[in-house]
Structure 1
Amino acid sequence: MNTYIKKSPYLLFLLVMPLLGMVYKFLNTHPREAVHISTAADGMIPFLPIFIIPYIFWYGYVFFYLVYFCFKDTKVYLKTLILIVVGEIICFLVYFFFQTIVPRPQLHGDGFLIEMVKFIYANDEPYNCFPSIHVLTTFAIMLGSRHIYDKHPINTMFIHIAGSLIIISTLFVKQHVVPDMIASMFLVSFLYGILFELYEVAVSKKADTVFAKNK
């Protein structure tokens, strides 16, 4: 219990997320000249309303696992949060200088899934697409989870299966196109390599040097 109390203040860093959301909203409602970057592959991907469920599930997924990381391994939590913040700032710069737009399908019918899609479309303009923040944050959680040890196998499976569904949902509900997804995964992988891999190697070498001097 004392451990949870000691780690709880770190959750305050999550307050940066609403601030990032405000920047996203500003750029989304004040678009620059937008371009289409759809590919032939995007034309072959069908619109499947059922994928609006994992798309919306993203909101809880990212928040829950950041909190989980905080209490499980605070260092991994902070690194993952930094990865997300830096990644989103880079995305915002791209949105400002290179704004893209995703063509949306005509929605027919009034079923529950269609109504959910209509809600998302009504509250999120078809800009701020390349790279995809949905994919960026989800992939950051998936990679960060690799450094959370002693997870239950079901938890591990859930992180990656749910994350994968969220990522492909961006394509099936026509919120993003393939280049958006690829760019986000490349950006996250690059930042992950710096924060999780190169940093660990540098710290390890420094520790080895100190140990050698003290022998």
Structure 2
Amino acid sequence: MKALIKKLIDFLKARPYCLILVIWPAQIIWYGVLNHLIVQDPAKSHLIHIPFDDKIPYIRQFSLFYILWFVFIAACLIYVLIYSKKDFLRCAVGCMFTLYVCMTFCTVFPTYHDLRVTDTGGGLTGLIVKMIYAADEPTAIYPSMHVMVSYVLAIRMTFAESMKGKIWWKAFIWFFATMITLSTMFIKQHSSADVFLALALVIPFDLIVRFLILPDRRFKEKDAPAGAAENDTVST
């Protein structure tokens, strides 16, 4: 056990830039507070509901993909953390930039929806939906942060140097991001309008991170973590 802990400490010491993640909890707290402060009243907040929403069925089984969003984020970040400073920072900063901009927008433009079902159904997936509904109010929804973060990571993972030649893994990542996106609508956690806006913003946000916040010139080969495979090192 001690040897394992030492390996973990050494791993993190070789990658001090992973400390950027310490600012993430502030967004989680911000969302938690805002999510319960927004009043679900059209006189005080903006109702997000378009006709297409009424054509989307409720499918409780998609709740599994919705909650696996957190695992998806962790898996992507851990993978790139192992191999490349550049890819890790672009993934991590891409996520946080997206979340903080969305939170700012949700704060000045409070939103909610009225799409939730009263009968979530039985079984494990029905219980999961009930738990999601209980923990997360249908507020601060526009655009969908689930969707934006999923595709920001999908794009960054596609271009990660350590993912070169791994076509099936890339396809799986895009498939999973798509299933997460569909889950937001099928369990009635988001309006399709939230999803459409998120999809429209993903590429602009990624370009901002890729070319303005973290352009190639900010990285050098020496920035690659010790022990990373030679073909996965960061280059200018």
Find the residue that maps to 1:105 and give its secondary structure. coil
Q: Is the aligned partner of 1:183 residue 2:197?
A: yes
1:138-171 deviations in whole A, cap 9, x for unaligned? Answer: 1110111122134333321221111110111101
**Shift of the alpha carbon at 1:4?**
4.7
* Residue 21 of structure 2: aligned partner: 14
Alignment of 1:1-215 (within 5 A): 4=11, 7-32=14-39, 33-103=44-114, 104-151=116-163, 152-197=166-211, 203=217
Find the residue that maps to 2:72 and give its secondary structure. helix
Identity of matched residues, % = 26
- The 1-side partners of 2:142 and 2:190 are apart by 8
- The 2-side partners of 1:142 and 1:175 are apart by 21
- The 1-side partners of 2:94 and 2:120 are apart by 39
> Partner amino acid for 2:122?
D
- The 2-side partners of 1:199 and 1:14 are apart by 16
Greater shift in the superposed pair: 57-66 or 98-107: 98-107
**Shift of the alpha carbon at 1:88?**
1.4
**Shift of the alpha carbon at 1:188?**
2.4
- The 2-side partners of 1:52 and 1:79 are apart by 28
Judged with a 3 Å threshold, the aligned counterparts in structure 2 of structure 1 residues 202 and 158 are, in CA distance, closer, same or farther, namely closer
1:177-210 deviations in whole A, cap 9, x for unaligned? Answer: 1121122222221121122246788849xxxxxx
Judged with a 3 Å threshold, the aligned counterparts in structure 2 of structure 1 residues 134 and 108 are, in CA distance, closer, same or farther, namely closer
- The 1-side partners of 2:92 and 2:202 are apart by 12
**TM-score, length-scaled by structure 2:** 0.78
Greater shift in the superposed pair: 125-134 or 75-84: 75-84
Gaps of 5+ in 2: 1-6, 219-236
Find the residue that maps to 2:112 and give its secondary structure. coil
- The 1-side partners of 2:179 and 2:205 are apart by 22
* Residue 212 of structure 1: aligned partner: none
Q: Indicate if the aligned counterparts of 2:120 and 2:129 stay in contact, CA closer than 8 A.
A: no
- The 2-side partners of 1:20 and 1:86 are apart by 10
> Partner amino acid for 1:168?
L
Judged with a 3 Å threshold, the aligned counterparts in structure 2 of structure 1 residues 154 and 119 are, in CA distance, closer, same or farther, namely same
Q: Indicate if the aligned counterparts of 1:11 and 1:67 stay in contact, CA closer than 8 A.
A: no
1:66-115 deviations in whole A, cap 9, x for unaligned? Answer: 11112222112112222222221211122112111122111154321111
Q: Indicate if the aligned counterparts of 2:60 and 2:121 stay in contact, CA closer than 8 A.
A: no
Gaps of 5+ in 1: 205-215
Q: Indicate if the aligned counterparts of 1:34 and 1:127 stay in contact, CA closer than 8 A.
A: no
Find the residue that maps to 2:46 and give its secondary structure. coil
- Tell me the matched-pair count: 204
